[in-house]
């Protein structure tokens, strides 16, 4: 356990050295959401409801998108693929502290510091926006918050495991880190992060409802805004999806170690 805590502490220290860059990314990530506030305010100037969604609900939706993105997002793919390409992971193959464990605990440490910086920033941003737009604090029962928290964990694991799969593909493919953009586009489009699923074209709605990615943004946000967990919502699809991703990571890692050793990595 000590080695994991040490890795978390080391990751926090390294991330702290880059805190100005983290703060810059926080600011840059917030800009599109603020722009969307003005866009939707303009759209709603001629109508009260769009697909049974009011302006305050729409604005709260995008605020929650920003919060979820900051909590669940992962962006370690490019650095880790570069490590593989440069042959800098030998140490982790020889020591008890493996490569996958190093990625995970380093990611946890970096995420903890990021949240320490992000939460005050988000609180200040929400307060400022509430002075000019019809947004307010969300009141929901404890059970709803618990389900929301469980789905946040699901979103975090999906982001992490998909990122890990991209990293592992780096053992075979040059430029596999480019898949990070494909991951971002897929999640944004099919999860409800880019636009509420109810507003998508019918064929995209069907695809989104068929995929478990909706449990990353669309489902948890709607649960929180409705203040209740619908009986139509099952938590089995996200659980099965996580199990599938873990199995895929395990299989890829076994093949990757063999490939790396065979090539004299």
pLDDT tens-place string over residues 32-66: 999 999 999 999 988 888 888 899 999 999 999 99
Closest to 159 in 3D by CA, of 111, 195, 125: 111
Q: How many CB atoms lie under 10 A from the CB of residue 87?
A: 11
pTM for the whole structure: 0.89
The DSSP code for 1 is -
Record the tokens describing residue 7, joined without a space: 């890795």
pLDDT of residue 261: 58
| Domain boundaries, given as residue ranges, for the chain | 2-262
Residue with tokens 């089995």: 236
β-pair partners for 49: 54
* Each residue's pLDDT tens digit, 96-129: 668 888 889 889 998 998 999 999 999 999 999 9
Which 3 state secondary structure label does DSSP give 50? strand
């Amino acid at each position: 356990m000590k080695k994991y805590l040490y890795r978390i502490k080391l990751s926090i220290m390294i991330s702290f050295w880059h805190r100005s860059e983290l703060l810059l990314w926080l600011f840059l990530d917030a800009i599109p959401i603020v722009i969307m506030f003005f866009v939707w305010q303009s759209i709603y100037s001629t109508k009260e409801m769009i697909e049974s969604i009011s302006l305050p609900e729409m604005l709260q939706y995008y605020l929650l998108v920003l919060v979820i993105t900051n909590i669940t997002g992962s962006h370690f793919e490019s650095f880790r693929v570069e490590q593989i390409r440069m042959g800098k992971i030998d140490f982790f193959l020889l020591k008890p502290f493996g490569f996958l464990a190093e990625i995970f605990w380093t990611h946890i440490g970096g995420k903890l510091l990021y949240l320490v910086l992000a939460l005050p920033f988000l609180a200040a941003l929400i307060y400022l926006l509430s002075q000019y737009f019809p947004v307010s604090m969300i009141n929901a029962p404890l059970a709803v918050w618990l389900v929301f928290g469980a789905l946040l964990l699901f979103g975090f694991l999906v982001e992490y495991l998909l990122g890990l799969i991209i990293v592992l593909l780096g053992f075979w493919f040059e430029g596999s880190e480019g898949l990070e953009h494909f991951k971002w586009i897929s999640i944004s489009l099919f999860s409800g992060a880019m636009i509420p699923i109810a507003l998508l074209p019918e064929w995209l709605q069907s695809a989104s409802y068929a995929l478990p990615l909706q449990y990353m943004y669309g489902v948890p946000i709607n649960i929180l805004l409705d203040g209740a967990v619908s009986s139509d919502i099952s938590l089995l699809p996200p659980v099965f999806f996580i199990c599938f991703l873990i199995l895929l990571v395990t299989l890829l890692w076994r093949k990757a170690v063999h490939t790396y050793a065979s090539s004299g990595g």
